Structure 1
Amino acid sequence: MKSSPSGSEPTAYDHGGGVRSLRVPIPDNPLGHTLVYVVDTDHGPVLIDTGWDDPASWEALAAGLTACGTSVTELRGVVITHHHPDHHGLSGRVREASGAWVAMHAADTSIVRRTRETRPERWYSYMAAKLTTAGAPEEHIAPLRTPPARRRPFPGLAPALPDREIVPGEFLDLPGRRLRAIWTPGHTPGHVCLHLEEEHPARLPGHGRLFSGDHLLPGITPHIGLYEDPDDATVTDPLGDYLDSLERVGRLAPAEILPAHQHAFTDAPSRVTELLAHHEDRLTGLLALLATPLTPWQLAERMEWNRPWPQIPYGSRNIAVSEAEAHLRRLVKQGRAEAVTGSDPVTYRAV
């Protein structure tokens, strides 16, 4: 594989068996990059994810494809693990340049469609109401009520609408390959892993290779938050969905995991066991905090993050509160915590 201009990192990495990965940068993000995979098929190359919609990201994607001996115009399809902008962001541009189809699970396609059809003002008012209910202070909510012209736009408000559906349990239409979709909700409602049911090129023990998206990563845990329709009052349990999905992936026992961040790794069952234990430890720790009734915002302030709460940026605090609420829902569903009757904003306590 060719090297980058600096020579510090390869433009593309060959995993063998007609699979390569490209590092597509994520601007201003500690993750650094998304690993986009190029899978050869009998009809031409197909991408798994595309990267963030940014000029530097597009240039990195194009350079990586050149290093693989192909180009954007030769792509035949794009398989999206989930709708987040560091995975789906460049899908529309890839399709425009190549005519490639774009495939996604129906649950995430629904989110993309809702995002495209809902006016930004509706999202701001919905977020303000959610944060108020979660107990956020007025100084945090106030920016959401500023005039539209003075607001910073959200990324990904016009994501590409997929034209194919990924059906769980079925092989994708990739001639010459056996790539099966595994529905793994939690990180998003429609997140999918993709099981390449072919012998590992290095004959590692196990069952094929797994493109794990953000579901299973070697050294970090994915965010578990809420993706809800402002007009739908259904109470979801994304953390419960994630834990169930983890166990399902562990039972596949793939020879190697090809994640969307960090690096490839082996022994999926051990990593699944670690993550299940991590979340149980975290839930137990939250119960100790809930000895005193707390709002979701107050719980988020006290939870352990990768930096102290005062150093967490504005947007990341919204994500943290969403994750705190996801954990509260799991505890309530398990009968380990409950809402305090009559509290406003609603507080929760351990049972």
Structure 2
Amino acid sequence: MTKVFDHGGGVRSLRVPIPDNPLGHTLVYVVDTDRGPVLVDTGWDDPASWDALVAGLTDCGTSVAALHGVVITHHHPDHHGLSAQVREASGAWVAMHAADASIVRRTRETRPERWYTYMAEKLTAAGAPDAHLAPLRSSRRRALPGLSPALPDREIVPGELLDLPGRRLRAIWTPGHTPGHVCLHLEEDHPAGLPGRGRLFSGDHVLPGITPHIGLYEDPDDATVTDPLGDYLASLERVGRLAPAEVLPAHQHAFTDAPSRVRELLAHHEERLTGLLSLLASPLTPWQLAERMEWNRPWEEIPYGSRNIAVSEAEAHLRRLVKLGRAEAVPGSDPVTYAAV
């Protein structure tokens, strides 16, 4: 039986499974409008996920065919994966922030071989060992997920209300987890009368018990040095000031007291940055730093793909430390190492 939760005020959530992932599922929200239901995110592109979405909509008393639109918080496949199938079955529009739409466009236009070459170059520069690089250089590579995501037909413009007849849903740009991540503020009184300013669909930006991944914004053709962690921290403070009555995240469960959760996340990252400085008492490559960082399991037990994500997160933290003047690259090191200042 598909789990449907009624949040009141014409908002329900469905659990759409993510295959082989400890997160378990994405919470897809169904928002009633005067022209039919609108989804916030769609879930992973997988037959079991699609079946769960279809069954959940049936349990809500509606169907995929009745959908009016799809609002995507960010381009990751557990959020945007089923958008093309939803649009094909319903004719619904799909909306996304321009920064993530450009990633979708680039992903569709870039051959998989280019991604593998780029990843191998990035990991080599990060100091990854040859054993880790070998699969990327092999002709027998695993298929990458999400290489043909749906191109959105509408742009989510920060600060503007979305076209949801009969509802007031405003986009808030919250880069960090991705360049075009958005939270969506439902500017309506809380149906249970909870104090605060409406409800916030937070995507992966603010989760009740998980710190979202902050990695690098990857673009094989752009050498701009970004600061995604700095973007994320600034975006967090924006959400904290908003003080919604309730947060409806894309994973785990709904929660209240967003300012408190924001303070926890800000403190977590400051603590982590301080801890990394102690590790950087001796120069380390990003790979060596990732090996020494605290994760949810020992480094030896982290799967191959997750190690790539971990190294990206280590680099995002390094960039923040460099920007703050608390660490610097060691001149002449190859692969480049970093040390605390």
Structure 1 distance, partners of 2:282, 2:17, is 43
Partner amino acid, structure 2, of 1:208: G
Matched, 1:286 2:276: yes
Tell me what 2:14 maps to: 22
Matched, 1:153 2:137: no
Matched, 1:110 2:102: yes
Tell me what 1:127 maps to: 119
Tell me what 2:31 maps to: 39
- Detail structure 1 runs of 4+ shifted over 2 Å in the superposition: none
Tell me what 1:204 maps to: 194
TM-superposed deviation, 1:205: 0.1
The answer as to whether partners of 1:50 and 1:91 remain within 8 angstroms in 2 is: yes
TM-superposed deviation, 1:313: 0.3
Which of 158, 163, 171 pairs up with 2:153? 163
Matched, 1:80 2:72: yes
CA-atom RMSD, angstroms?
0.5
Tell me what 2:239 maps to: 249
Which of 259, 262, 265 pairs up with 1:272? 262
Partner SS state of residue 185, structure 2: strand
Tell me what 1:90 maps to: 82
Which of 178, 181, 185 pairs up with 2:171? 181
Deviation string for 1:288-330 (max 9, x for gaps)?
0000000000000000000000000000000000000000000
The answer as to whether partners of 1:11 and 1:63 remain within 8 angstroms in 2 is: no
Structure 1 distance, partners of 2:283, 2:61, is 59
TM-superposed deviation, 1:151: 1.2
Which of 309, 324, 335 pairs up with 2:299? 309
Structure 2 distance, partners of 1:34, 1:283, is 29
Which of 333, 336, 340 pairs up with 2:323? 333
Structure 1 distance, partners of 2:118, 2:247, is 38
Structure 2 distance, partners of 1:208, 1:231, is 41
Partner amino acid, structure 1, of 2:279: L
Structure 2 distance, partners of 1:152, 1:229, is 20
Partner amino acid, structure 1, of 2:62: T
Partner SS state of residue 202, structure 2: strand
Tell me what 1:7 maps to: none
Tell me what 1:229 maps to: 219
Which of 129, 142, 145 pairs up with 1:137? 129
Tell me what 1:220 maps to: 210
Given the two structures, how large is their TM-score scaled by the length of structure 2?
1.00
TM-superposed deviation, 1:226: 1.0
Given the two structures, how large is their TM-score scaled by the length of structure 1?
0.97
Gaps spanning 5+ residues in structure 2: where?
none
TM-superposed deviation, 1:11: 2.3
Structure 2 distance, partners of 1:122, 1:251, is 41
Which of 56, 59, 67 pairs up with 2:59? 67
Structure 1 distance, partners of 2:312, 2:99, is 19
Partner SS state of residue 322, structure 2: helix
Partner amino acid, structure 2, of 1:307: R
Matched, 1:263 2:267: no
TM-superposed deviation, 1:229: 1.6
* Percent of aligned positions that are identical: 87
Deviation string for 1:212-241 (max 9, x for gaps)?
000000001000001222111100000000
Deviation string for 1:36-75 (max 9, x for gaps)?
0000000000000000000100000000000000000000
Partner SS state of residue 21, structure 2: coil
Structure 1 distance, partners of 2:246, 2:121, is 43
Structure 2 distance, partners of 1:228, 1:55, is 28
Partner SS state of residue 175, structure 1: coil
Structure 1 distance, partners of 2:299, 2:3, is 36
Matched, 1:238 2:228: yes
